[in-house]
Structures are given as structure tokens and as C-alpha cells.
Chain A
Amino acid sequence: MDGFSYYNLFETKGIEYIIIIAFLLLIIPFWTMINRPLRLTGKIRKAFNTLTASILRVPQGVFFSDKHTWTHLEKSGNARVGIDDLLLHLTGDVNVSLDVEPGTVVSKGEVISVIDHGGKKLNVVSPISGEVTGINHGLNYELLHEDPYGRGWLLSIKPTDWKSETSSYHIASDATGWLGKELDRFRDFLAVSAGKYIHGSPAVYMQDGGELVDHPLSSMPEEVWSDFEKEFLK
């Protein structure tokens, strides 16, 4: 201020107050929107790279067997069969082969498919007994992982003993809880199995804080895979 002409010390105060009012009005929608419940898409899930029960897809109307295959009875009388989301997350990206022809009769526990990750294989067994009425010719690697309960189905079987075979299987909220427990059980399994075959820190398959990395088995040696099939999936 030179002391000889007009100078307003507080020239911008009016504008400042207007900015404040705008801020206070904007913070309400800002806060509301940022707090909307999160909906993780597949890509974000991969970005997080942790495997927790909350990211598993669990359709509530489908029966889950202890071997992590699912089966769903349709109105036509045929039951679709496939691999559940948890198993796919554990193994990572796998190729799938279908080893039965339509018309074959399979029984519960018989191998119907093999999934393969870079040479490491895992047998997939049928959750129900019956005649194979159809196989999913369109099945490929993408469909299996994107939509394992829908277009990624493996076989359709006409069941011979649906009720008793599925009576011990998990469905609806019981299935959701069970999958969570299976994840915990897997964590323990992995600690033991990996400890047998891998020397060094568990950082390879565990995040800080003991969280599982997604696709933990993909980096595991063959021995862990066979342990998995024999001991975890019994």
C-alpha cells in the first residue's frame, strides 16, 4: 500500500466465501457417493490380488460337493455339473479337458475331467451318478473362468439317485459359509504342504498379514498339487 491511493486489503474475501459455500454443498454428494457399497469387478479383484471369501461367487440355488464341483437340477430332468469358483481361484488359470462322451454312464466319484495348469494336473470327479446327456462343446478357458456356474458348465447328466447323493451337499447360505471355511482350511493345508516342498519364506503365496494371494496353487510345485488332490479334496 503506497498510502496515496485506494487499496483493499480484503479484496478477495467475497469470492472466498462463495468458494466455501460451493465446497460445503459439494461435499455432501462427494461423501455420499464415495461411501456407496463397493462392488468389485473381476479386474479389481485381480488388482487386489488377495483371495478372500468375500470375492467368491456363490449362486444360492446350486449344490456344492466336497470335491468342489457343483450340480444343479434343471426342469428338464437333467442336472448340469461344473467346477466351483473357489477351486478355480485356488488353481489359477487352467485348461480343462472333458474325458467322457455323451451316453456314457458315470458314477459319483468317477473322473470326468482334468484341469491343467502348465503340466500340473488335477482330476475332476462327478458329483452325481447317471447318464451323460450332454457335454459343453463350447467350453473354453475363458468361459470356465468367467462364468463357471453358467456358460462354463462341464456336463449335463440325467441323475439316477439325485436325492440321496446330494443330501449331504451344501446349498444356499450353508454353501457360502462352507466355502469360507474351506478357504481357511486351505490356508492351513498350504502352510503344511508348501512347507514340506518349498524352502524359504511363505511370502510367495501369502500376503503380509497372512492373506492368501490369488491363484496360490499356480506357483506351487507338482507335489503340492498331488497333495491337494489326495489330502485336501478327499
Chain B
Amino acid sequence: MSIDRRDFFKVLGVTGVTLATGKRLGAEPAPDMDSREEFYGMLYDSTRCVGCQGCEFACAEAHALPAPDFEDLPVVGTERKADETRRTVINVYNTSKGEMYVKRQCMHCNDPACAAACLTKAMYKTTDGSVIWRGDKCMGCRYCMVSCPFDVPKFEYFSANPKIEKCDMCYERVREGKTPACAEGCPTEAIVFGSRRELLSEARKRIHDNPGTYHDYIYGEHEAGGTGYLYLSAVPFEELDFKTTLQKSSYPALTKGFLYAVPSIFVLWPALLLGLQQATKNNNHNEEEDHE
């Protein structure tokens, strides 16, 4: 598998050199690609998005989901949400720089709350970087939904055998050497697939090379401890209905204190309780006499 990827990178790296902006980045392979896998990520550039919903169509087709309804176009003032029939949605907002489009889907966090929350490892962070749902393990407890700061996982509430729907960064396609469907289906190359490291430097480069075009912030660089999906925008992200008050550290780290206290309590409580029981062994007689 690693060999395939390396060859693949080389081929596309060459292509990327010839095309000014390529669907794939990587003129040269990243340093540690052979020895240790690095996360993939995706970079979404809202300034390039024209709201064609090509990504939505491509995603629906790739995952056997219903195609977007032609009646249901992105409209200012209406919030379109992902649900159990669609993994990604385009919304449009009236911002200080005019109408802007935004694509939302799973953020593929570096340390995902859903994966930490899942008690059967159905929600799983692959070494690739994509966060996938494995149905054979899922028991439908919806704890992933409770924990996700972005409210991403969607549940089939009206099915007898419900599944969780969310973007999985086209894990299967990537393993076959293709790019995720949305990136491929985007005519303006607003969505780019590559290693997270390279995408971050590309994002910084774009901000640097085009002062005034971009708002100087990469959403997803630090949010929730860093996410696989990175966003560039022309306007501050609040105007695009992004949650900007999320913590900049990993969410599972919030439970670390509790989970690491558990073994200590398992050791200390029995010892303490045994000690207490021994110490108060002779109290019986006194107590009963007092109360008679």
C-alpha cells in the first residue's frame, strides 16, 4: 500500500508542478512518507467556491445516497444541515464581502471526540487521518453525537437497523489511490486533498501571497486540537456560522483526568475500605447499647 501511495504521489507531484494549482499537492514527497504515515487532510477555500453543489452530487453518487434535491438550493437565511441522507452540504451567507458559500461536513479532527467516546471503537481514527464509522461494531448509543463539538454524526432515527452517517474522507477511494469524491467533483478546485502538513503550508502561502483576499485565519489549524479539514475564508468565520469559541485543545483530553483516576480508585478504595472495616470491627456492641 505504501508503495502505491509513493508512486501515486510521484505521478501527481509531477502533474502538480505543471499545473499552477493542482487537485493534489506534493511536488516532492514529504520527508517521512515512507517510514511513518502522516495524516491526510483537505483544504477548502471558500473564496473559490461558487455554490454549484458539485461536491454534494459527487458525494451522494459515491456513497449510494440520494442526490441533492433540485428544489433545495442553498439560500441565504435557510440553514441546510447534513442529515442521515447527506454527508455534506453547501450553505450561503450574506457577509461583509457579499454572498459567500461554505461547505460543511465532518472535520476529521486529529484527536476526535467521537472516536474517544465510542465504546466499541466503531468510530475510528485511521492512521490515514480519516475518521470512519464501522457499522459491524456500532450499537447505536449515539454517544459520539453527544461528544462531537461540531455536531457531525447523523443518526438514522427511523430505521430498524440504524446507521450513523458522516463524511469519511472517502476512505475506501483513498485506499484505492483515488481522491475523495468531493475534491474530484469540484470544478473550481476549491477542495484540495493532500497531507495535512502540506495543506497547512499551502493555506499559509495563499494568505501570504494574496493579502486582502483572505481573512488571516485558518479554521481547523488549532480548533479541537487541530482538524483534518482546513478552511480559508474571505471574511471572519463567525459570519459563515462557524463555531469560533471552541477550545483549541483536544476534547478527549478533557476526560483524561477522570479516566486516569479510575485505576487509582480501584486500588485505593478496597484498601481503605478494608482498613475502615477492621478499625470499626468492635463498634457493634457500643452502638447497640447506646440506642437501646
Contact = CB atoms under 8 A, between A and B. Distances in A.
Do they bind each other? yes
B263 A16 contact: yes
Contacts of B116: 9-10
Contacts of B39: 3-6
A203 interface: no
- Interface size class, chain B: 20 to 34
Interface in A1-28: 1, 3-7, 9-10, 13, 16-17, 19-20, 23-24, 27
Contacts of A10: 116, 252, 256, 259
A4 B38 contact: yes
A27 B267 CA distance: 10
Contact of A20 (B37, B252, B267, B274): B267
A5 B36 contact: yes
A4 B196 contact: yes
B110 interface: yes
B85 to A, nearest CB: 31
A3 B266 contact: no
Contacts of A27: 270-271
A3 B225 contact: yes
A137 B195 CA distance: 98
A24 B267 CA distance: 8
B95 interface: no
Contacts of A20: 263, 266-267
B226 interface: yes
Contacts of B271: 27
A1 B250 contact: yes
Contact of A9 (B111, B267, B270): B111
Nearest to B196: A4
B226 A9 contact: no
B267 A23 contact: yes
Nearest to A6: B127
Interface string B177-198: 0000000000000000001110
Contacts of B252: 9-10
Interface in A174-208: none
A24 B37 CA distance: 40
Contacts of B266: 20, 23-24
A6 B125 contact: yes
Nearest to B221: A3
B263 A19 contact: yes
Contacts of B263: 16-17, 19-20
Contacts of A3: 39, 110, 196, 225-226
Contacts of B37: 5-6
A14 to B, nearest CB: 11
A5 B39 CA distance: 5
Interface in B232-288: 250, 252-253, 256, 259, 263, 266-267, 270-271, 274
B197 A4 contact: yes
A31 B259 CA distance: 27
10 contacts: A3-B196, A4-B196, A4-B197, A6-B39, A7-B110, A9-B256, A10-B116, A19-B263, A23-B266, A24-B266
Given A3-B226, A6-B125, A16-B263, 8 more contacts: A1-B225, A1-B250, A4-B196, A5-B36, A9-B111, A20-B263, A20-B267, A23-B266
* The 10 nearest A-B residue pairs measured at CB: A3-B226, A20-B266, A6-B127, A16-B263, A4-B197, A4-B38, A3-B110, A5-B38, A20-B263, A4-B196
